[in-house]
Amino acid sequence: MSWLDRVERLLRLGHAGTLLLVEHAQGSQLRPLLRRLTAISPEVSVLLRARELGQVPDNGLVILRLDQEDGGWLNVNRPVLRERRLRVVLWAGDPELGASRLRAAAPDFFDWVSHIVDCPPAVAGFARAGLEAAAGWVPGVAWRGPGAAETAAPTTRLHPLMRFEEQVERLRGAGEGWALVEKVATLTDLYVLRWAMATAGRRGGVLLDDPDLACPGYWPVHGAPARLEEAGATLREAGASHAGLLAGWLDLEPEAIQLAARLLAAGVSEPGLLTSVREAADPGAALVRIADETGVLEPRPAEGGLPPGPWLRVARHREAALAARARTSPDPQAMLAAIPTAILPDGDVPPSEELLLDALTSRLPAKEVLRLSDVLEAVGWDGAADQLYEWGQELLQLEREAIDSMI
Protein backbone atom coordinates (compact mmCIF):
# COMPACT_ATOMS: atom_id res chain seq x y z
CA MET A 1 0.00 0.00 0.00
CA SER A 2 1.41 3.38 -1.01
CA TRP A 3 1.68 6.19 1.49
CA LEU A 4 -1.14 8.05 -0.31
CA ASP A 5 -3.37 4.98 -0.19
CA ARG A 6 -2.73 4.75 3.53
CA VAL A 7 -3.47 8.43 4.14
CA GLU A 8 -6.74 8.23 2.21
CA ARG A 9 -7.80 5.04 3.97
CA LEU A 10 -7.07 6.43 7.44
CA LEU A 11 -8.94 9.66 6.75
CA ARG A 12 -11.96 7.87 5.31
CA LEU A 13 -12.13 5.44 8.21
CA GLY A 14 -11.31 7.97 10.90
CA HIS A 15 -13.96 9.92 12.74
CA ALA A 16 -14.22 13.69 12.64
CA GLY A 17 -11.45 15.31 14.63
CA THR A 18 -8.80 13.01 13.12
CA LEU A 19 -5.15 14.07 13.37
CA LEU A 20 -2.66 12.39 11.05
CA LEU A 21 1.05 13.23 11.07
CA VAL A 22 3.05 13.01 7.82
CA GLU A 23 6.74 12.77 8.68
CA HIS A 24 9.59 13.66 6.28
CA ALA A 25 7.08 15.53 4.14
CA GLN A 26 8.51 16.15 0.68
CA GLY A 27 7.58 19.25 -1.30
CA SER A 28 7.35 17.11 -4.43
CA GLN A 29 4.54 15.11 -2.77
CA LEU A 30 2.26 17.99 -1.78
CA ARG A 31 0.37 18.24 -5.08
CA PRO A 32 -0.16 14.44 -5.25
CA LEU A 33 -1.50 14.59 -1.69
CA LEU A 34 -3.88 17.42 -2.63
CA ARG A 35 -5.18 15.39 -5.56
CA ARG A 36 -5.80 12.42 -3.32
CA LEU A 37 -7.55 14.46 -0.63
CA THR A 38 -9.91 16.11 -3.13
CA ALA A 39 -11.23 12.61 -3.79
CA ILE A 40 -12.41 12.66 -0.15
CA SER A 41 -13.62 16.27 -0.10
CA PRO A 42 -13.64 18.85 -2.91
CA GLU A 43 -12.72 21.57 -0.44
CA VAL A 44 -9.25 21.14 1.04
CA SER A 45 -7.37 23.86 2.90
CA VAL A 46 -3.59 24.23 3.05
CA LEU A 47 -2.60 26.31 6.07
CA LEU A 48 0.80 27.76 6.87
CA ARG A 49 0.19 28.43 10.59
CA ALA A 50 -1.90 26.62 13.20
CA ARG A 51 -3.77 29.79 14.16
CA GLU A 52 -5.39 29.75 10.71
CA LEU A 53 -7.41 26.69 11.74
CA GLY A 54 -9.98 29.11 13.12
CA GLN A 55 -10.82 30.12 9.53
CA VAL A 56 -11.66 26.58 8.39
CA PRO A 57 -15.37 25.62 8.26
CA ASP A 58 -16.64 22.87 10.55
CA ASN A 59 -16.01 19.34 9.21
CA GLY A 60 -13.19 20.72 7.08
CA LEU A 61 -10.25 18.75 5.64
CA VAL A 62 -6.92 20.49 6.23
CA ILE A 63 -3.23 20.15 5.44
CA LEU A 64 -1.40 22.08 8.15
CA ARG A 65 2.30 22.86 7.75
CA LEU A 66 3.86 22.35 11.15
CA ASP A 67 5.97 25.22 12.42
CA GLN A 68 8.28 25.17 15.42
CA GLU A 69 6.23 27.93 17.02
CA ASP A 70 2.92 26.06 16.65
CA GLY A 71 3.46 23.45 19.37
CA GLY A 72 2.24 25.58 22.26
CA TRP A 73 -0.84 26.83 20.40
CA LEU A 74 -1.80 23.31 19.33
CA ASN A 75 -1.33 22.04 22.87
CA VAL A 76 -3.72 24.63 24.28
CA ASN A 77 -6.29 24.57 21.50
CA ARG A 78 -6.45 20.86 20.74
CA PRO A 79 -10.12 20.58 21.82
CA VAL A 80 -11.06 23.00 19.02
CA LEU A 81 -10.20 20.37 16.40
CA ARG A 82 -12.45 17.81 18.03
CA GLU A 83 -15.31 20.24 18.66
CA ARG A 84 -15.28 21.47 15.08
CA ARG A 85 -14.83 17.94 13.68
CA LEU A 86 -11.78 18.85 11.60
CA ARG A 87 -9.69 16.26 9.84
CA VAL A 88 -6.11 17.52 9.83
CA VAL A 89 -3.02 16.22 8.03
CA LEU A 90 0.00 17.59 9.87
CA TRP A 91 2.65 18.29 7.21
CA ALA A 92 6.06 17.93 8.92
CA GLY A 93 8.56 18.91 6.25
CA ASP A 94 11.21 20.17 8.67
CA PRO A 95 13.32 17.24 9.99
CA GLU A 96 13.15 18.87 13.42
CA LEU A 97 9.34 18.69 13.47
CA GLY A 98 8.84 14.94 13.38
CA ALA A 99 7.04 12.79 15.91
CA SER A 100 9.68 13.00 18.63
CA ARG A 101 9.93 16.80 18.46
CA LEU A 102 6.17 17.25 18.38
CA ARG A 103 5.79 14.92 21.35
CA ALA A 104 8.24 17.09 23.30
CA ALA A 105 6.79 20.44 22.21
CA ALA A 106 3.11 19.55 22.55
CA PRO A 107 2.74 16.31 24.56
CA ASP A 108 -1.00 16.63 25.19
CA PHE A 109 -1.70 17.45 21.57
CA PHE A 110 0.51 14.59 20.35
CA ASP A 111 -1.61 12.11 22.31
CA TRP A 112 -4.44 12.99 19.95
CA VAL A 113 -2.44 12.10 16.81
CA SER A 114 -4.05 8.90 15.60
CA HIS A 115 -1.50 7.76 13.01
CA ILE A 116 1.96 8.61 11.68
CA VAL A 117 2.70 8.12 7.97
CA ASP A 118 6.15 8.41 6.44
CA CYS A 119 6.36 10.37 3.19
CA PRO A 120 8.83 8.88 0.68
CA PRO A 121 10.99 11.02 -1.63
CA ALA A 122 9.81 11.61 -5.19
CA VAL A 123 10.80 13.59 -8.26
CA ALA A 124 8.77 16.77 -8.65
CA GLY A 125 6.09 16.73 -11.33
CA PHE A 126 7.43 19.92 -12.91
CA ALA A 127 10.83 18.27 -13.35
CA ARG A 128 9.25 15.35 -15.20
CA ALA A 129 7.26 17.78 -17.33
CA GLY A 130 10.43 19.69 -18.19
CA LEU A 131 12.29 16.56 -19.21
CA GLU A 132 9.41 15.40 -21.41
CA ALA A 133 9.13 18.79 -23.12
CA ALA A 134 12.90 18.92 -23.72
CA ALA A 135 13.08 15.56 -25.50
CA GLY A 136 13.92 17.10 -28.87
CA TRP A 137 16.02 20.04 -27.66
CA VAL A 138 19.52 20.42 -29.10
CA PRO A 139 22.05 19.88 -27.62
CA GLY A 140 20.25 18.58 -24.53
CA VAL A 141 19.28 19.24 -20.90
CA ALA A 142 21.22 20.60 -17.93
CA TRP A 143 19.61 19.06 -14.84
CA ARG A 144 20.33 20.83 -11.55
CA GLY A 145 20.23 18.93 -8.28
CA PRO A 146 19.48 15.25 -7.63
CA GLY A 147 17.02 13.01 -9.45
CA ALA A 148 18.25 13.06 -13.06
CA ALA A 149 18.97 9.35 -13.38
CA GLU A 150 15.81 8.30 -11.53
CA THR A 151 13.65 10.48 -13.77
CA ALA A 152 15.25 9.92 -17.15
CA ALA A 153 16.09 6.19 -16.93
CA PRO A 154 19.10 6.75 -19.24
CA THR A 155 20.19 4.10 -21.73
CA THR A 156 23.87 4.96 -21.27
CA ARG A 157 26.17 6.93 -18.99
CA LEU A 158 29.45 8.69 -19.67
CA HIS A 159 31.74 11.28 -18.11
CA PRO A 160 34.55 13.59 -19.26
CA LEU A 161 37.29 11.41 -17.79
CA MET A 162 36.53 8.69 -20.35
CA ARG A 163 38.63 8.46 -23.49
CA PHE A 164 37.13 10.43 -26.36
CA GLU A 165 36.60 7.26 -28.39
CA GLU A 166 34.64 5.68 -25.53
CA GLN A 167 32.42 8.75 -25.21
CA VAL A 168 31.65 8.54 -28.93
CA GLU A 169 30.90 4.82 -28.68
CA ARG A 170 28.50 5.29 -25.78
CA LEU A 171 26.71 8.15 -27.48
CA ARG A 172 26.26 6.04 -30.60
CA GLY A 173 24.84 3.21 -28.53
CA ALA A 174 22.36 5.34 -26.60
CA GLY A 175 19.65 4.99 -29.25
CA GLU A 176 16.56 7.10 -28.63
CA GLY A 177 17.04 7.14 -24.85
CA TRP A 178 18.85 9.71 -22.75
CA ALA A 179 22.63 9.71 -22.53
CA LEU A 180 23.44 10.77 -18.96
CA VAL A 181 26.68 12.75 -18.67
CA GLU A 182 28.10 12.97 -15.16
CA LYS A 183 30.85 15.09 -13.61
CA VAL A 184 30.79 17.93 -16.15
CA ALA A 185 32.93 20.57 -14.47
CA THR A 186 34.62 22.74 -17.12
CA LEU A 187 33.95 24.36 -20.47
CA THR A 188 36.49 22.00 -21.96
CA ASP A 189 34.31 19.09 -20.78
CA LEU A 190 31.36 20.65 -22.61
CA TYR A 191 33.31 21.26 -25.81
CA VAL A 192 34.70 17.72 -25.91
CA LEU A 193 31.17 16.40 -25.34
CA ARG A 194 29.81 18.46 -28.24
CA TRP A 195 32.63 17.17 -30.42
CA ALA A 196 31.86 13.60 -29.38
CA MET A 197 28.16 14.15 -30.17
CA ALA A 198 29.03 15.44 -33.65
CA THR A 199 31.36 12.51 -34.26
CA ALA A 200 28.68 10.07 -33.08
CA GLY A 201 26.03 11.75 -35.25
CA ARG A 202 23.92 12.59 -32.18
CA ARG A 203 22.19 15.96 -32.18
CA GLY A 204 20.39 15.83 -28.84
CA GLY A 205 19.20 13.50 -26.12
CA VAL A 206 22.08 14.39 -23.78
CA LEU A 207 21.33 14.94 -20.09
CA LEU A 208 23.97 16.73 -18.02
CA ASP A 209 23.66 15.49 -14.44
CA ASP A 210 24.08 18.47 -12.09
CA PRO A 211 26.96 20.17 -13.96
CA ASP A 212 29.30 22.45 -12.04
CA LEU A 213 29.01 25.39 -14.45
CA ALA A 214 26.52 27.34 -16.51
CA CYS A 215 25.65 25.53 -19.74
CA PRO A 216 24.44 28.01 -22.39
CA GLY A 217 22.00 26.50 -24.86
CA TYR A 218 21.09 23.51 -22.70
CA TRP A 219 17.48 23.31 -21.53
CA PRO A 220 17.44 24.06 -17.76
CA VAL A 221 15.61 21.52 -15.57
CA HIS A 222 15.72 21.08 -11.81
CA GLY A 223 13.82 19.02 -9.27
CA ALA A 224 13.99 21.32 -6.23
CA PRO A 225 10.56 22.46 -4.98
CA ALA A 226 10.30 25.67 -3.00
CA ARG A 227 9.70 25.45 0.73
CA LEU A 228 5.98 25.68 1.44
CA GLU A 229 6.33 28.53 3.91
CA GLU A 230 8.45 30.60 1.49
CA ALA A 231 6.16 29.93 -1.48
CA GLY A 232 3.14 30.83 0.63
CA ALA A 233 4.75 34.06 1.82
CA THR A 234 5.53 35.08 -1.78
CA LEU A 235 1.95 34.47 -2.91
CA ARG A 236 0.43 36.09 0.17
CA GLU A 237 2.52 39.22 -0.39
CA ALA A 238 1.14 39.32 -3.94
CA GLY A 239 -2.41 39.29 -2.57
CA ALA A 240 -3.36 35.61 -2.42
CA SER A 241 -5.88 34.74 0.28
CA HIS A 242 -5.35 30.99 -0.18
CA ALA A 243 -1.59 31.14 -0.55
CA GLY A 244 -0.81 27.67 0.78
CA LEU A 245 -3.43 26.02 -1.42
CA LEU A 246 -2.25 27.84 -4.55
CA ALA A 247 1.38 26.97 -3.79
CA GLY A 248 0.44 23.31 -3.39
CA TRP A 249 -1.48 23.14 -6.66
CA LEU A 250 1.51 24.78 -8.36
CA ASP A 251 3.63 21.79 -7.28
CA LEU A 252 5.82 24.25 -5.35
CA GLU A 253 7.72 24.95 -8.57
CA PRO A 254 9.76 28.09 -7.72
CA GLU A 255 9.42 29.59 -11.21
CA ALA A 256 5.67 28.95 -11.25
CA ILE A 257 5.32 30.54 -7.78
CA GLN A 258 7.06 33.68 -9.02
CA LEU A 259 4.92 33.73 -12.17
CA ALA A 260 1.72 33.35 -10.15
CA ALA A 261 2.79 36.23 -7.90
CA ARG A 262 3.37 38.42 -10.95
CA LEU A 263 -0.05 37.48 -12.37
CA LEU A 264 -1.77 38.27 -9.07
CA ALA A 265 0.02 41.59 -8.87
CA ALA A 266 -1.12 42.32 -12.43
CA GLY A 267 -4.75 41.82 -11.44
CA VAL A 268 -5.46 38.23 -12.51
CA SER A 269 -8.01 36.70 -10.13
CA GLU A 270 -6.91 34.11 -7.61
CA PRO A 271 -10.00 31.88 -8.10
CA GLY A 272 -9.26 31.76 -11.83
CA LEU A 273 -5.66 30.78 -11.19
CA LEU A 274 -6.71 28.09 -8.73
CA THR A 275 -9.20 26.56 -11.15
CA SER A 276 -6.70 26.51 -14.00
CA VAL A 277 -3.77 24.99 -12.13
CA ARG A 278 -5.89 22.48 -10.21
CA GLU A 279 -7.17 20.93 -13.42
CA ALA A 280 -3.92 21.18 -15.41
CA ALA A 281 -1.49 18.34 -16.04
CA ASP A 282 1.31 20.94 -16.00
CA PRO A 283 0.31 23.84 -13.69
CA GLY A 284 3.35 25.96 -14.55
CA ALA A 285 2.57 25.81 -18.26
CA ALA A 286 -1.09 26.59 -17.47
CA LEU A 287 0.04 29.86 -15.86
CA VAL A 288 2.03 30.75 -18.96
CA ARG A 289 -1.06 30.27 -21.11
CA ILE A 290 -2.98 32.59 -18.78
CA ALA A 291 -0.20 35.17 -19.15
CA ASP A 292 -0.44 34.80 -22.94
CA GLU A 293 -4.23 35.14 -22.97
CA THR A 294 -4.27 38.19 -20.73
CA GLY A 295 -1.19 39.75 -22.30
CA VAL A 296 -0.01 41.07 -18.95
CA LEU A 297 3.44 39.45 -18.76
CA GLU A 298 6.46 38.49 -20.83
CA PRO A 299 9.06 35.89 -19.82
CA ARG A 300 12.18 37.02 -18.04
CA PRO A 301 15.43 35.39 -19.25
CA ALA A 302 16.84 32.72 -16.97
CA GLU A 303 19.84 30.40 -17.35
CA GLY A 304 21.70 30.77 -20.63
CA GLY A 305 19.33 33.51 -21.81
CA LEU A 306 16.45 31.03 -22.14
CA PRO A 307 13.03 31.69 -20.56
CA PRO A 308 12.24 29.96 -17.23
CA GLY A 309 11.05 26.36 -17.29
CA PRO A 310 7.26 26.96 -17.33
CA TRP A 311 7.58 29.19 -20.41
CA LEU A 312 9.82 26.72 -22.25
CA ARG A 313 7.25 23.98 -21.68
CA VAL A 314 4.78 25.91 -23.87
CA ALA A 315 5.41 25.29 -27.57
CA ARG A 316 5.03 28.92 -28.68
CA HIS A 317 7.70 30.18 -26.31
CA ARG A 318 9.95 27.19 -26.99
CA GLU A 319 9.89 27.99 -30.71
CA ALA A 320 10.50 31.68 -29.99
CA ALA A 321 13.54 30.78 -27.87
CA LEU A 322 14.93 28.67 -30.69
CA ALA A 323 14.41 31.48 -33.20
CA ALA A 324 16.03 34.04 -30.90
CA ARG A 325 19.02 31.79 -30.35
CA ALA A 326 19.45 31.39 -34.12
CA ARG A 327 19.38 35.19 -34.62
CA THR A 328 21.83 35.98 -31.85
CA SER A 329 25.49 36.41 -32.73
CA PRO A 330 27.32 33.86 -30.59
CA ASP A 331 29.84 34.91 -28.02
CA PRO A 332 33.23 33.14 -28.11
CA GLN A 333 32.11 30.40 -25.75
CA ALA A 334 28.92 29.69 -27.70
CA MET A 335 30.86 29.78 -30.98
CA LEU A 336 33.36 27.25 -29.69
CA ALA A 337 30.58 25.03 -28.44
CA ALA A 338 28.92 25.18 -31.86
CA ILE A 339 32.05 24.47 -33.93
CA PRO A 340 31.48 20.70 -34.22
CA THR A 341 27.89 21.00 -35.42
CA ALA A 342 28.65 24.07 -37.55
CA ILE A 343 31.31 22.32 -39.62
CA LEU A 344 29.91 18.81 -39.25
CA PRO A 345 26.46 19.18 -40.83
CA ASP A 346 24.07 16.32 -40.10
CA GLY A 347 26.67 14.52 -38.05
CA ASP A 348 29.12 13.90 -40.92
CA VAL A 349 32.59 12.52 -40.24
CA PRO A 350 35.02 15.03 -38.75
CA PRO A 351 36.82 17.29 -41.24
CA SER A 352 40.55 17.51 -41.63
CA GLU A 353 42.61 19.42 -39.12
CA GLU A 354 43.43 21.95 -41.85
CA LEU A 355 39.75 22.62 -42.50
CA LEU A 356 39.17 23.23 -38.82
CA LEU A 357 42.06 25.67 -38.56
CA ASP A 358 40.84 27.54 -41.65
CA ALA A 359 37.38 27.78 -40.07
CA LEU A 360 38.76 29.60 -37.02
CA THR A 361 39.61 33.29 -37.07
CA SER A 362 41.11 35.78 -34.67
CA ARG A 363 37.60 36.58 -33.40
CA LEU A 364 38.42 34.17 -30.58
CA PRO A 365 40.28 35.64 -27.59
CA ALA A 366 43.48 33.98 -26.45
CA LYS A 367 41.97 32.06 -23.53
CA GLU A 368 39.37 30.45 -25.83
CA VAL A 369 42.01 29.51 -28.38
CA LEU A 370 44.00 27.82 -25.63
CA ARG A 371 40.88 26.05 -24.36
CA LEU A 372 40.09 24.78 -27.85
CA SER A 373 43.65 23.52 -28.03
CA ASP A 374 42.88 21.33 -25.01
CA VAL A 375 39.70 20.12 -26.72
CA LEU A 376 41.52 19.10 -29.88
CA GLU A 377 44.17 17.32 -27.87
CA ALA A 378 41.41 15.38 -26.10
CA VAL A 379 39.90 14.26 -29.41
CA GLY A 380 43.26 13.19 -30.78
CA TRP A 381 44.05 16.06 -33.14
CA ASP A 382 47.51 16.68 -31.77
CA GLY A 383 48.82 18.61 -34.76
CA ALA A 384 46.00 21.15 -34.75
CA ALA A 385 46.19 21.32 -30.96
CA ASP A 386 49.87 22.27 -31.08
CA GLN A 387 49.24 24.93 -33.72
CA LEU A 388 46.36 26.41 -31.73
CA TYR A 389 48.45 26.38 -28.56
CA GLU A 390 51.21 28.37 -30.25
CA TRP A 391 48.63 30.74 -31.74
CA GLY A 392 46.99 31.17 -28.35
CA GLN A 393 50.28 32.01 -26.67
CA GLU A 394 50.98 34.63 -29.32
CA LEU A 395 47.51 36.15 -28.89
CA LEU A 396 47.94 36.12 -25.12
CA GLN A 397 51.18 38.05 -25.41
CA LEU A 398 49.56 40.58 -27.76
CA GLU A 399 46.66 41.05 -25.33
CA ARG A 400 49.08 41.63 -22.45
CA GLU A 401 51.04 44.19 -24.46
CA ALA A 402 47.82 45.99 -25.37
CA ILE A 403 46.81 46.15 -21.71
CA ASP A 404 50.27 47.38 -20.66
CA SER A 405 50.11 50.16 -23.26
CA MET A 406 46.91 51.50 -21.67
CA ILE A 407 48.38 51.71 -18.14
11 and 93 belong to one structural domain: yes
Instruction: Decide if 54 is inside a domain.
Output: yes
Instruction: Decide if 320 is inside a domain.
Output: no
Domain boundary among 118, 141, 163: 118
d(CA 179, CA 200): 12
Instruction: Decide if 268 is inside a domain.
Output: yes
Tens-place pLDDT, residues 158-174: 999 999 889 999 999 99
Please report which confidence band the pLDDT of residue 405 belongs to, taking 50, 70 and 90 as the band edges.
low
Instruction: Decide if 75 is inside a domain.
Output: yes
Instruction: Decide if 33 is inside a domain.
Output: yes
Q: So what's the pLDDT on residue 114?
A: 83
Q: Please check the confidence at residue 157 and state whether its pLDDT lies above 70.
A: yes
Q: Please check the confidence at residue 253 and state whether its pLDDT lies above 70.
A: yes
Q: Please check the confidence at residue 269 and state whether its pLDDT lies above 90.
A: yes
Domain count, the chain: 4
22 and 47 belong to one structural domain: yes
- 115-118 and 140-144 strand pairing: unpaired
307 and 242 belong to one structural domain: yes
**Where is pLDDT greater, at 361 or 313?**
313
Q: Please check the confidence at residue 97 and state whether its pLDDT lies above 70.
A: no
102 and 23 belong to one structural domain: yes
Tens-place pLDDT, residues 192-234: 888 788 778 888 899 999 999 988 888 999 999 999 999 999 9
Please report which confidence band the pLDDT of residue 84 belongs to, taking 50, 70 and 90 as the band edges.
confident
Contacts of 302 (CB under 8 A, 6+ apart): 220, 255, 308, 309
Instruction: Decide if 328 is inside a domain.
Output: no
Contact 24, 98 (CB under 8 A): yes
Kindly report the pTM of this predicted structure: 0.82
31 and 83 belong to one structural domain: yes
177 and 252 belong to one structural domain: no
DSSP conformation class of 307:
P
Q: So what's the pLDDT on residue 351?
A: 47
Contact 222, 143 (CB under 8 A): yes
Bridge partners (DSSP) listed for residue 141: 207, 219
Instruction: Decide if 358 is inside a domain.
Output: yes
13 and 91 belong to one structural domain: yes
Instruction: Decide if 57 is inside a domain.
Output: yes
Q: Give me the domain span that covers residue 378.
A: 351-406
What are the φ and ψ backbone dihedral angles of 201, each rounded to 5 degrees? 70, 30
Tens-place pLDDT, residues 320-370: 887 776 554 444 444 445 455 444 444 444 444 544 554 454 446 667 777
Which is nearest to 198 in space by CA: 163, 171, 216?
171
Q: Please check the confidence at residue 407 and state whether its pLDDT lies above 60.
A: no
Domain boundary among 313, 342, 372: 313
207 and 167 belong to one structural domain: yes
61 and 132 belong to one structural domain: no
CATH number of the domain residue 107 falls in: 3.40.50.300
Q: Span 99-104, mean pLDDT?
A: 68
d(CA 313, CA 129): 8
Average pLDDT, the chain: 83
